Amino acid sequence: MDTLIFLLIFVMLLAMWRGRYRLGWVLFVIAFIMTGLLFWHHTTDALEISF
């Protein structure tokens, strides 16, 4: 999952570099949501351990 998000950010930056702004925008949104979900996953993980 982490590798996939990094890969998405890399492709997003390449898309911006090549002037493909719409693609860059879509990839940003996907990477942002995936990062948030991964954070949520790790948060709930730790809470289970705490309680």
Partner 1 sequence: MGAFRTLLAQFCIVAVSCVLLGAFGAQFLQHEMPCPLCILQRMGMMLCASGPAWLLCRAAMREVDARDYAECYGLSILSAILGGSVALRQICLHIAPGDTGYGSPMFGLHLYTWSFIVFVTVVAVSGLQLLLLPKRAERLRIGFIPKACVALLIAVVAANTIAVFVEEGFHLYLPDNPTEYQLFSDFGFSTSAPAAAP
Distances (CA, A) of 46 to 6, 33, 40, 50: 23, 20, 10, 6
Which of 23, 30, 41, 51 touches partner 1 (CB under 8 A)?
41
Which positions from 17 to 36 touch partner 1 by CB under 8 A, shown as an x/- string? x-x-x--x---x--xx--xx
- Closest contact distance (angstroms) between CB of 34 and partner 1 is 9
Q: Using alpha carbons only, give the angle 31, 37, 39 rounded to the nearest 5 degrees.
A: 100
Q: Which residues bind partner 1 (CB under 8 A)?
A: 1-3, 5-7, 9-10, 12-14, 16-17, 19, 21, 24, 28, 31-32, 35-36, 38-39, 41-43, 45-46
